[in-house]
Structure 1
């Protein structure tokens, strides 16, 4: 098969790109041809199809009135992306199109081009772009899925849920209404949701009549599922230092527990300075250690040597690679009971749950982890490895995905 993979970014920016490039490698290892469509960017990885990529749009740049208008219109429907992907399809003649992140930069305009050539389309749902105006299912720092449940955007408009801006909220509403009018989401033949939670939310939203299936993300083919032997005594959080990740709640839980083992925070983000100020003001400098951005072997070392990995998210996570990667090397994990996170952990067996927004609950889970004796810890570590191998195996994912591909291609 020749598969056209579509993602707005052609460089590793987050978990969506980890999946995107991992999928390409998996397909190519089984003899399939993979081609790409994305947005032009100087950070992009080398690609034979880069000449087809759509124009770069930076919504965070300082723009004048004319620039803002152009960017706003582009976010609604990119004629540039539509024309360029059509030219790519005409020249390369793929058998199927698999899209990942496309909203705002590439837009669903590309579906009109794809359908002109009668190609099946699969969409892996990495976030809430399709069902939530602000894409986060949060309003004023609180979890919210009212628009999904009520099939109405009244609450979003009342609270200016897109960056607190009435204008941006109305623009997002216009985008959603426009896609509904054009039946854009029905032009996707099948949706893949990495978590059952996102599958349920997408189906509840009613935005599409197309089938929605659940397939948990996979880890690379060369993943070695085995508990790390060199384990140190620190708690580890790695990822973006931001409000929705619950990092401040983690620091407060750590403080409340009076733990002697250190807490490592690996990553950067908008909450970093506030976290550092809080840590300093509470005399936690010697125990809470900021390790900055890490990647590659350096990050793998932090993960493999950690006593446990903690993800105390306060928004609806989907299927984060941080938990998957930690379990593969035998790390017990502590996660919030929210979104898709509980689907990845067996409470009391491969890790522990805690309640989101609740430092006391998180502190108690950290205490439970800390009081495990050697045998109990090894048992939990091995359970994490077995859980990872059973859930994230790339070969199983490949079989299920290509069965879907062949089924959709066969209908054409």
Structure 2
């Protein structure tokens, strides 16, 4: 059973995704904190650094955005030269440049930007300059993939590119063309605004969190969407009805006395999942530590004593931990490099099964996640695409006493220290 639970109050919107009543994704947004990923700007090149093959572009934010040479070259592989030109041959300081944000600013780093534009719709991702067609690999039927590719070739113009999304399986040509025309119109509006505007200026912004989740996650595999705001609920029903009458019927207004997040155990599960120490059902536990460069997860048997066979006990704990780790990465939206210190296993078969279990769990994640493999030290290396700040960063602030270390000086160690 899959559910989407939406809480709206004043300017705050929070969206939770549940699978068999287990919290798997959580998003929060205030109007002042609109995400930048997907936004299109007319920017102005500030610095060009040939030694780094990169440029810094002013798009109107506090910090200049970072543009790498690969994001300036053509999006289609066949058009990329075998020897990359110097970035100074492609852009110059003071030049106005149309760009799209691919990564939010993090810490001291500015946003990452590209000239490979993409506008996601319900069934199609439109890439105005890509000049190729792709079909989601999750669509297994070769016949269906071929049908969808034929439709894509019919509706696109020379030079345009698009990707058919998984949810487009079995959709009609009319539905796909209607979706495509909306995105093409949005892009033409961007170009018209760019011609009339100076730089830096925002030209296009991705929809809010609720609209994005409905667009990307509210499919026929979701049993119900529950929202506690009657006004926004009615607006949502009317909007979804344009896509599917059946899906519109799965939207329900919550009128219970309890807070909707309490009634569906969202708060309870979120509180547990955001801790440094996360307990497993068996009695084992995980410890998550984040650094500037990567996230480290340690697996422990804890209270779980298992059977008389130590290897079986270790494997059971590691297998359960693999499922929970995949859920936590997805829920907390942790990106970048992740190293997992599973409990040592002597059996190669067990090691392979744990890796396979991770890969299987990652298939549920809409963000690209890979189990790279075991390092020489026996650690599992994982990578997960990082586009925006994690849930940890958005929900917690660094302690002004310990500065984020989790430790404060012991008085006897610094007797003359002034606070």
TM-score (norm 2): 0.22
More helix by share: 1
TM-score (norm 1): 0.23
More strand by share: 2
Larger gyration radius, structure 1 or structure 2: 2
